[in-house]
Structure 1
Amino acid sequence: MAGTEPGKQLAEGKTKIIYELPNNEVLVQSKDRISANNALRTNDLEGKAAISNNTACKVFEFLSKIGVKNHFIAKHSDTSFTAANCDMIPIEWVTRRVATGSFLKRNAGVKEGYRFAPVKLEFFYKDDAAGDPQWSAEQIIESKLTCGGLVIGRHQVDMMSKMTVVIFEVLEKAWMSLDCSLIDMKIEFGVSAKTGEIVLADIIDSDSWRLWPKGDRRLMKDKQVYREFKEVTSEGLQQVIRNFQWVADQLDSFIPSPKGQAVVIMGSPSDMVHGEKIRDLCLSFGFPCHLRVSSAHKGTDETLNIVAQYEASGIATVFIAVAGRSNGLGPVLSGNTSFPVINCPPVKAEWGPQDIWSSLRLPSGLGCSTVMSADGAAWCAAQMLSLTDHVIWSTIRARQMNTWLALKAADFKLQTTADTN
């Protein structure tokens, strides 16, 4: 992206500046500046801009990979990134897993460490002069905020609430994989000038969340360290910059190599189209899927050799048996491996009931499941592997959210059309 020159300044905040770019894009430029308590405390902090930008880019890249819609386009320089131009919705959406900080001040009697399950969702109207007051969902709806030509009503609040919780959950899961607890975080949304959609926008960096390695508040790596200084010193600021760099470094491990795999074993080469469809769907979840051909009836020894190869790999594996007619493949696999087995027969209309029955009626001591569609088999394999892979887990969560959002948007469109008729 080098060579893209920023245009006029569109906005400036405490820690960033937004510049206009062509094609409804903007440049988000971070500052070497840290602030707290609604800017009652501010300091220059050399190196913060680059660390904040690096952090934000890695977080948005992770969220983009798993399917969360956001404004991020690409890293532009060490201290800036390009994004879709958005009309920002002036609400901070805060998600809390653990009670701490300002929540304790506003909720007397709640002890620090109280764990919210499900997570606690709060809203704050962005108004520096008023100290960013807390709002209810009803206040947001009744204020009839208009952003990007869209009036923010009940449907939009519901959609952003859903997105906020899911974004927190997937980032929490990623940090959990690194033995670090995501305690709370704040995010913002905007209406994209390109699509008219509500998307995650602004910036996510170490100003945005609380992080406690090993779940220990004493090891905090977030801006709370700066907030709690009785007196700001150069040594203290260096500690803050080291903490922020630690966070940015950890994010390199947010997207590890896949920890699991699927193996589609087909009873015949004629099952290839069905097997390839399952493979492609598995790949879309971010884990490898291998295609093999072996008949449990005609080549039992070779079938078991294939199983042994994958058992010896040391990688968590889900076997998917694709066999029609008399399905002995799934039961033979299930009876000879500890890995999970999914039957997904390529059902033909003329013998469909019999083919399905041969997958469902199992001898005792076998546990293979039967899924009728290629899509369902891939989803089932993904959910199994998600138990030990946070990227797959997050991809599933994001897809479920996107389905929910699409239904919500369709309902909103229907209601809007009905109101105008």
Structure 2
Amino acid sequence: MKHLHSGKVRDLYELPGGELLIVARDSISAYDHVLDTPIPDKGRILTQLSLWWFERLADVVPNHVVSTDLPDGSPAEWEGRAVVVRRLDMIPVECVARGYLTGGGLKDYRKSGAVCGIVLPEGLEDGSRLPEPIFTPTTKAAVGGHDQPMTYQDVEQLAGAGLASRLRDITMEVYRRGAELALERGVIVADTKIELGLREGELVLGDEVLTPDSSRFWPADDWEPGRSQKSFDKQFVRDWLVSPESGWDPASGTAPPALPAHIVEQTRAKYVEAYERLTGRSWA
């Protein structure tokens, strides 16, 4: 197999038949950096949770998965973290849906009262539930770059009105379905990001879906607007990196520090809890 590309947390290979192999590493990224410290089992958790969601979203949008069988000659450590997929013509838009206000959306709202050109009611706080979920796309930056907010009109100019409408509709239905199912399991999906590509004119879901890397998961019984929420996702790592314990400033231009053992252990536990809560399965 031929190595094609290494992203923030995944490696991409081309197989002899033209299909692709995606291998999820245990890397974690934050503030546009890939951290030096791995989170044990993270790549397997993301892969297995995505596969679980792909099955439950199959009637909403097709996905790129061909097989979970490892190609001959694959390293044994790829078991559970590698997926054979169809090649897609990826759309250069990060398709984001938000049902709650936090993160970058909150920063934009505080500046302008709007997120991606969508004007929101006054008086919203960190963690506020929006009147209805909104489509807030961003650009798709390269590794080390920063995604920039896009308006819906920006997406129309980039992809055309027809394709933009389909991107928005699929994103919002994936979010609606995911948020509804997760809430039944005591988890709020505050926001989520998906990637879509074209294959023979049909939009296909690629990469990962509704994982702790691509979504914000909050315990529903602890949700309280006006403060940072407890979470089952990598926000925990982001928060530590900007804490006094870390001593690091994202604006410094320096690389983030290594994660201490207790942060690694707690992060892994959050990813495992997200998997177990959502799927109802035990993580071995």
- TM-score, normalized by the shorter chain, greater than 0.5: yes
Pairwise CA distance, 1:216:
2.3
Pairwise CA distance, 1:228:
0.2
8 Å CA contact 1:36–1:42 kept in 2: the answer is no
Moved over 6 A (4+): none
Which amino acid is 1:139 matched to? D
**More helix by percentage:** 1
Which amino acid is 1:71 matched to? H
Which residue number corresponds to residue 54 of structure 1?
A: 48
How many percent of aligned residue pairs carry the same amino acid?
Answer: 26
Choose from 135, 157, 162 the match for 2:164. Answer: 157
Which residue number corresponds to residue 147 of structure 2?
A: 132
Query: Cα–Cα, structure 1 residues 71 and 18, in superposed 2: closer, same or farther, change >3 Å?
Result: same
1:72 matched to 2:65: yes
How is 1:27-106 mapped onto 2 (pairs within 5 angstroms)? Answer: 27-39=21-33, 41-64=35-58, 66-76=59-69, 77-106=79-108
Q: Secondary structure at the match of 1:210?
A: strand
Which residue number corresponds to residue 127 of structure 2?
A: 113
Query: Cα–Cα, structure 1 residues 121 and 240, in superposed 2: closer, same or farther, change >3 Å?
Result: same
Pairwise CA distance, 1:18:
1.4
Choose from 8, 28, 37 the match for 1:14. Answer: 8
Which residue number corresponds to residue 204 of structure 2?
A: 199
Q: 2-side partners of 1:120 and 1:213: how far apart?
A: 21
Which amino acid is 2:99 matched to? R
Pairwise CA distance, 1:113:
2.6
Pairwise CA distance, 1:48:
1.3
Please give the TM-score of this superposition, normalised by the length of structure 2.
0.77
Choose from 236, 242, 254 the match for 2:269. Answer: 242
Pairwise CA distance, 1:24:
4.4
Q: Structure 1 regions of 5+ residues with no counterpart?
A: 1-6, 144-151, 255-421
Query: Cα–Cα, structure 1 residues 67 and 122, in superposed 2: closer, same or farther, change >3 Å?
Result: closer
Q: 2-side partners of 1:89 and 1:222: how far apart?
A: 25
Choose from 219, 226, 237 the match for 1:226. Answer: 237
Pairwise CA distance, 1:225:
0.6
Which residue number corresponds to residue 356 of structure 1?
A: none
Pairwise CA distance, 1:110:
3.6
Which amino acid is 2:153 matched to? E
Q: 1-side partners of 2:22 and 2:35: how far apart?
A: 23
> What do residues 322-345 of structure 1 show as CA deviations (whole Å, max 9, x unaligned)?
xxxxxxxxxxxxxxxxxxxxxxxx
Pairwise CA distance, 1:67:
4.5
Number of residue pairs the alignment of both structures matches: 237
Pairwise CA distance, 1:238:
0.7
Query: Cα–Cα, structure 1 residues 178 and 16, in superposed 2: closer, same or farther, change >3 Å?
Result: same
Query: Cα–Cα, structure 1 residues 114 and 219, in superposed 2: closer, same or farther, change >3 Å?
Result: closer
Q: Structure 2 regions of 5+ residues with no counterpart?
A: 70-78, 111-122, 224-228, 247-258
Larger Rg: 1
8 Å CA contact 2:98–2:192 kept in 1: the answer is yes
RMSD after superposition: 2.0
Please give the TM-score of this superposition, normalised by the length of structure 1.
0.53
Which residue number corresponds to residue 175 of structure 2?
A: 168
Pairwise CA distance, 1:53:
1.3
Q: Secondary structure at the match of 2:232?
A: coil
Query: Cα–Cα, structure 1 residues 23 and 40, in superposed 2: closer, same or farther, change >3 Å?
Result: closer
Pairwise CA distance, 1:14:
0.6
How is 1:309-324 mapped onto 2 (pairs within 5 angstroms)? Answer: none
> What do residues 359-403 of structure 1 show as CA deviations (whole Å, max 9, x unaligned)?
xxxxxxxxxxxxxxxxxxxxxxxxxxxxxxxxxxxxxxxxxxxxx
Pairwise CA distance, 1:74:
3.1
Q: 1-side partners of 2:267 and 2:231: how far apart?
A: 10
Q: 1-side partners of 2:221 and 2:96: how far apart?
A: 19
